[in-house]
Amino acid sequence: MAITTAEKRATFRKMHETGCFVLPNPWDIGSARALAHIGFKAIASTSAGFAWSIGKADNRVTLDDVCEHLAELCGAVDLPVNADFEAGFAHEAEKVAANVARAVKTGVAGLSIEDSTGEPAKPLYERALAIERIRAARAAIDKDNSGVLLVGRCEGFLVGQTDLKMVIDRLQAYAEAGADCLYAPGIRSPEQISAVVKAVQPKPVNLLLGWPGFSVSEAADLGVRRISVGGSLARAAWGGFFRAAREIADKGTFTELGSGTPGGELNKMFG
């Protein structure tokens, strides 16, 4: 029997109460179902991975693209789906609210809002507007008592603004504005991670891990509640594709194709 959207959302909230879990990021229905098959208990979309899968650069997908994609992911697996909703596909708080309301209708269990403007000269929204945008997203989620978990993201470290005090100040403000979970992609050191966790506790923190050298247990020891990998699984898949394709193009040989997952195994999983 299929799990209802309400049950997925309740499960997702429960997962944020204790422990540390990994929230891997598929980019299409097949990769979502594969992650469910492996045994993950929840998944998150990736704006970059999805964009590449439809031949676009990251941050170049449309609201229509993303909402259709989210609905597909939610319908493909009996797992909670957290939406990478970029910056809400709008600048003004009221428009962010309208777009968040639309995203909630796709069936997602969680949804993140960034404070990145996409403008190199001014990469982060002014603090007051950034807070207003989170507050508007919260109101949109609560309007129909959906139970969707709101993630507040500060993109400072990804846009070259690496003042940890500034990032923490914003995360604390986003928590006060209604964010259920806080996220500062780009922080890497144990000291940075621990500082963020302590600053926003008892609210949970999402840690982005897209590189080797850090384990789930180490993140858990620092108080991290959940770990996502962004576009890293998609990049890994593209890496295998390019190694094989370039070998064929450059050498005329097919060695890399031998490292692919057997078709029978894939058919069994998807069958």
Question: Average pLDDT of the chain?
Answer: 97
Examine residue 13 and state whether it is found in any structural domain, yes or no. no
Residues 153 and 183 in one domain: yes
Number of domains into which the chain is organized: 2
pLDDT digits (tens, 9 = 90+) for 244-257: 999 999 999 999 99
Residues 103 and 70 in one domain: yes
Residues 223 and 253 in one domain: no
Domain span at 241: 233-271
Residues 218 and 248 in one domain: no
Percent of the chain with pLDDT over 90: 98
Residues 219 and 88 in one domain: yes
Q: At 154, which CATH number?
A: 3.20.20.60
pLDDT digits (tens, 9 = 90+) for 78-134: 999 999 999 999 999 999 999 999 999 999 999 999 999 999 999 999 999 999 999
Q: Are 181 and 225 in contact (CB under 8 A)?
A: yes
The pLDDT value given to residue 213? 87
Closest CA to 127 of 185, 169, 74: 169
CA 141-145-147 angle, 5° bins: 70
Residues 107 and 198 in one domain: yes
Q: CB-based contacts of 81: which residues, under 8 Å, 6+ apart?
A: 8, 32, 42, 43, 44, 45, 70, 73, 74, 107, 108, 109, 110
Residues 128 and 249 in one domain: no
32 to each of 29, 68, 215, how far by Cα in Å? 5, 15, 22
Residues 103 and 214 in one domain: yes
Examine residue 7 and state whether it is found in any structural domain, yes or no. no
pLDDT digits (tens, 9 = 90+) for 19-47: 999 999 999 999 999 999 999 999 999 99
pLDDT digits (tens, 9 = 90+) for 139-196: 999 998 999 999 999 999 999 999 999 999 999 999 999 999 999 999 999 999 999 9
Residues 222 and 242 in one domain: no
Residues 112 and 237 in one domain: no
